[in-house]
Amino acid sequence: MTDGIILIDKPAEMTSFGVVARIRRVLTQQAGKKVKVGHTGTLDPFATGLMILVIGKECKNAGHYTKLDKTYEATFMLGQTSSTGDPEGELTDVADRQPDRTEIEQVLTRFVGEILQRPPIFSALKINGQRAYKLARNGEEVEIPERAVTIHSLELLSYEYPHVKIRTHVSSGTYIRSLAVDIGEALGTGAYCSQLRRTSIREWQLKDAKTLEEFGVLN
């Protein structure tokens, strides 16, 4: 393939750019010439799941795919916060209270609809031309304004303290790490996102994606 889209199931502990580089290498080897490859929305290194890669001439339409709604399954860890909102950050104990399932379900309903959300400072958003995470890693003060996002649905799949597993359908630009932090604050327990898997991007489904191994990536 030299033009079109490819659905990939991103593994954990790999950057989105790492996925792109590996797919580009395979396609370039197959085509015998350099093939242009891009992604349509960053998944954090700890996260897994669906990525839409644009190939060749389809790269010009990357922005279209980026703006689409997405669905995630995520696990939030109660009782602690993380400096990055995920397992890779510095963890801080907050509280050991154990809310019951009813309280959690009630809190989740407060986040359905259009909400204001502050993206994490450790994110790929650009501030004055630089990635926020690079500024944060350099110890610089990072201030990211709140912005409106839409949570179309937010379902509690399971709860066994301290693990809260949810499924959520969200608008483009929604940060699940920020959602975890906000829910933790609302519960008074603190929380961070310990696992994250993207299961759909509009009509494209994770079940139709290939793993890197299935695509022919050897390492």
Would you name the residues annotated as active-site residues? 44
Instruction: Report CA torsion sign: 91, 97, 101, 107.
Output: negative
Whole-angstrom Cα distance, residue 194 to residue 164?
10
Whole-angstrom Cα distance, residue 109 to residue 64?
30
Instruction: Please say whether the beta carbons of 166 and 155 come within 8 A.
Output: yes
Instruction: Please say whether the beta carbons of 8 and 15 come within 8 A.
Output: no
Half-sphere exposure of 48 (CA within 13 A, CB side): 16
DSSP state of 209: P
Neighbouring residues of 90: CB distance < 8 A, sequence distance ≥ 6: 82, 83, 84
What's the CA angle centered on 82, arms 151 and 144, to 5 degrees? Answer: 60
